């Protein structure tokens, strides 16, 4: 007689965490009785929850130490805000500390999330970047295991996070992708993707398809015992080569996929397996000139040229510019109105850009691997968003963006000072990919700069507000605002560079910005801290900009042991 299956999907977040732990071993950290709820929801008329939708339990699986982090999809769609994000990041940072001290502990994360909680937008982005930085560091020590069971699925910035894990498993009911179907339809139009076609959506981003095309490692049935068995197996697999480092394979795959006019999930499956059966040769790294079209003269391009003194710069792609000199490496993503990747013609970070950033930063790392002093990497940031498109989702744009930030995080961990210079917009997944793994962030003090998790139109639709209501909410919660001054109050910026002409910089403007960048590089070298912790130590962070983030970490640290 066959064993009766017990559903994992139908459990709530806390029950899921307990279901995979050895009986009697689990101890919840910052449980609901601690009252660590979000301070940003009630001012918007939203009822908070005392665990903020994230459950953290230390315990054992098969007698081995683990920390299980489970996201409750029933609360705010599993969206990540300041408190929930700090609980995840804080637990992972403590696990990293244990592993560095030789006390092995494996993180297991149950994803049921739409990504950033838009009611706390920039807090969500900052927290997700800190989670991602911790996972990249943990991958050096232990397996990192992600489970995407179903209901909400794994979307947004947390889908990028999941792509960093050494082992990801899904049920057939799970969905996994960067941009939700409704957001793609909003941003790119119904001709690009019809979000009402549920069958097609499942064929694109459902668990079965994701496993068949290598974006997920294991397909599991909705059964507690089967999921637990897969987790135990994954705990024994380390080290493994992360898919985010298969740069040549994915660049080859993307080139071939975009050469086809029509491209279905089945076509991708065939192409993926065809390439997997071959030895993919390293692609020639020929540098190409960026566009000189007038409409492509973005702030990012202008400041890249100004800082490097290189006119008509080149890169590994027309949209990814790079330059190296004796002391610094520079990188930027810029528009190319003639790019064959039509969803990434205006400075967006798309499939190709994500993998090309990864390839470029990998080259920076290789050049200095035998040098005690590592050259700084300066990312010139002017990115309107990630690319929204059908092919982008089919081919796993979340993995491409994960590849980009993985290399930047590794560069930081290897000792390269990584500096993010915000010259233009810094939006959503593109900002995660290019800027938020930097040791230090600087920005021009400029009203034209927007920093946010999503365009206003899409954010209004998803939060079921009018744009006017959305703008009204930003007065109560600065993390929801788009302007750089509100962003500065969160503590993430080390410096706002004032009195600079962002569109047409003079020689004096360029000198001032260069001096600020060099000072930041020196500060990072003197500080000798390769983490992202400086964001919690700035004056603005300590005065309240990251009050909850700091408190969560302090209280979790006391309970950890």
Query: Minimal CA–CA distance to 364: which of 285, 253, 249?
Result: 285
Do 13-176+216-240 and 248-527 share a fold?
Answer: yes
Cβ contact 82:97 at 8 Å: no
Cβ contact 143:167 at 8 Å: yes
User: What average pLDDT does this structure show over 478-483?
Assistant: 93
Is residue 1 predicted with pLDDT exceeding 50? no
Residue 309 backbone phi and psi in degrees, to 5: 60, 25
Is residue 110 predicted with pLDDT exceeding 70? yes
Can you tell me the distance from the alpha carbon of 446 to that of 546, in angstroms, rounded to the nearest whole number? Answer: 23
Alpha-carbon radius of gyration of the chain: 22
More confident residue, 528 or 160: 160
Cβ contact 105:25 at 8 Å: no
C-alpha triplet 82, 110, 490: angle, nearest 5°: 10
Is residue 329 predicted with pLDDT exceeding 70? yes
pLDDT tens sequence across 194-223: 999 999 999 999 999 999 999 999 999 999
Can you tell me the distance from the alpha carbon of 468 to that of 155, in angstroms, rounded to the nearest whole number? Answer: 26
259 burial (CB, 10 Å; 0-12 / 13-18 / 19+) is: exposed
Can you tell me the distance from the alpha carbon of 274 to that of 306, in angstroms, rounded to the nearest whole number? Answer: 44
Q: Are strands 418-427 and 440-444 parallel, antiparallel or unpaired?
A: parallel
Cβ contact 321:290 at 8 Å: yes
Cβ contact 85:131 at 8 Å: yes
23 burial (CB, 10 Å; 0-12 / 13-18 / 19+) is: exposed
- Structure token pair of residue 516: 């600020």
Can you tell me the distance from the alpha carbon of 498 to that of 519, in angstroms, rounded to the nearest whole number? Answer: 16
Containing 167, the helix (H) or strand (E) segment is strand 167-170
Can you tell me the distance from the alpha carbon of 161 to that of 178, in angstroms, rounded to the nearest whole number? Answer: 10
193 burial (CB, 10 Å; 0-12 / 13-18 / 19+) is: buried
pLDDT tens sequence across 125-155: 999 999 999 999 999 999 999 999 999 999 9
Mean pLDDT, the chain, whole residue set = 94
Q: How many CA atoms lie within 13 A of 505 on its CB side?
A: 26
Cβ contact 465:109 at 8 Å: no
- Structure token pair of residue 416: 């390269």
Q: Which residue has the tokens 């929204």?
A: 388
Can you tell me the distance from the alpha carbon of 151 to that of 198, in angstroms, rounded to the nearest whole number? Answer: 14
Cβ contact 164:22 at 8 Å: no
pLDDT tens sequence across 39-72: 999 999 999 999 999 999 999 999 999 999 999 9
Fold held by 13-176+216-240: 2-enoyl-CoA Hydratase; Chain A, domain 1 (3.90.226)
User: What average pLDDT does this structure show over 392-411?
Assistant: 98
pTM assigned to the model: 0.96
**Percentage of residues in the chain having pLDDT higher than 90:** 85
Every domain of the chain and the residues it spans: 13-176+216-240, 248-527
pLDDT tens sequence across 235-287: 999 887 899 999 999 999 999 999 988 889 999 999 999 999 987 766 666 66
Q: Which residues of 419-458 are buried (b: 16+ CB within 10 A; e: fewer)?
A: bbbbbbbbbbbbbbbbbbbbbbbbbbbbeebbbbbbbeeb
pLDDT for the residue numbered 286: 63
C-alpha triplet 312, 313, 319: angle, nearest 5°: 105
Can you tell me the distance from the alpha carbon of 176 to that of 202, in angstroms, rounded to the nearest whole number? Answer: 10
Q: What is the CATH number of domain 248-527?
A: 3.90.226.10
Can you tell me the distance from the alpha carbon of 326 to that of 144, in angstroms, rounded to the nearest whole number? Answer: 37
pLDDT for the residue numbered 316: 64
């Amino acid at each position: 007689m066959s064993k009766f299956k017990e559903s994992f999907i139908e459990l709530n977040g806390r029950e899921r965490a307990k279901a995979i732990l050895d009986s009697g071993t689990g101890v919840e950290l910052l449980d609901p009785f601690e009252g660590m709820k979000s301070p940003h929801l009630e001012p918007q008329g939203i009822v908070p929850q005392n665990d903020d939708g994230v459950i953290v339990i230390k315990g054992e699986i098969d007698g081995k130490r683990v920390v299980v982090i489970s996201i409750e999809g029933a609360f705010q769609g599993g969206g990540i805000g300041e408190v929930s994000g700090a609980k995840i990041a804080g637990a992972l940072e403590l696990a990293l500390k244990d592993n560095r001290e030789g006390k092995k502990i494996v993180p297991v994360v149950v994803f049921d999330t739409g990504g950033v909680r838009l009611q706390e937008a920039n807090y969500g982005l900052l927290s997700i970047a800190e989670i991602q930085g911790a996972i990249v560091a943990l991958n050096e020590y232990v397996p990192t295991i992600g489970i995407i069971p179903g209901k909400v699925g794994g979307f947004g910035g947390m889908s990028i996070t999941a792509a960093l894990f050494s082992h990801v498993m899904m049920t057939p009911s799970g969905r996994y992708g960067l941009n939700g179907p409704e957001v793609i339809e909003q941003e790119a139009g119904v001709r690009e993707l019809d979000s009402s076609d549920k069958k097609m959506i499942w064929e694109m981003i459902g668990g079965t398809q994701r496993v068949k095309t290598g974006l997920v490692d294991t397909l599991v049935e909705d059964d507690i015992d089967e999921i637990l068995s897969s987790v135990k197996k994954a705990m024994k697999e380390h080290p493994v080569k992360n898919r985010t480092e298969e740069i040549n394979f994915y660049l080859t795959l993307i080139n071939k996929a975009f050469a086809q006019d029509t491209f279905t999930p089945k076509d991708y499956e065939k192409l993926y397996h065809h390439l997997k059966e071959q030895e993919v040769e390293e692609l020639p790294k020929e540098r190409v000139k960026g566009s000189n079209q007038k409409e492509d003269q973005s702030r990012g391009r202008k400041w890249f040229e100004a800082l490097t003194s290189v006119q008509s710069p080149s890169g590994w792609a027309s949209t990814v510019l790079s330059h190296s000199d004796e002391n610094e490496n520079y990188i930027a993503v810029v528009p190319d109105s003639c790019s064959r990747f039509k969803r990434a013609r205006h400075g967006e970070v798309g499939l190709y850009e994500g993998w090309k950033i990864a390839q470029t930063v990998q080259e920076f790392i290789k050049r200095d691997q035998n040098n005690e002093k590592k050259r700084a990497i300066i990312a010139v940031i002017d990115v309107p968003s990630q690319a929204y498109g059908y092919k982008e989702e089919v081919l796993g744009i979340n993995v491409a963006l994960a590849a980009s930030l993985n290399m930047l995080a590794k560069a930081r961990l290897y000792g390269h000072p990584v500096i993010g210079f915000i010259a233009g917009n810094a939006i959503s997944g593109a900002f995660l990919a290019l800027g938020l793994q930097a040791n230090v962030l600087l920005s021009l003090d400029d009203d034209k700069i927007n920093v946010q998790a999503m365009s206003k139109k899409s954010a209004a639709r998803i939060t079921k507000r009018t744009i006017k209501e959305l703008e009204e909410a930003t007065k109560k919660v600065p993390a929801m605002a788009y302007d750089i001054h509100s962003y500065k109050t969160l503590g993430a910026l080390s410096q706002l560079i004032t009195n600079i002409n962002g569109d047409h910089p003079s020689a004096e403007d360029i000198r001032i910005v260069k001096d600020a960048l060099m000072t930041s590089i020196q500060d990072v070298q003197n500080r000798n801290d390769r983490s992202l912790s400086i964001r919690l130590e700035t004056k603005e962070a300590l005065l309240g900009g990251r009050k909850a983030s700091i408190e969560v970490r302090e209280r979790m640290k006391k309970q950890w042991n």
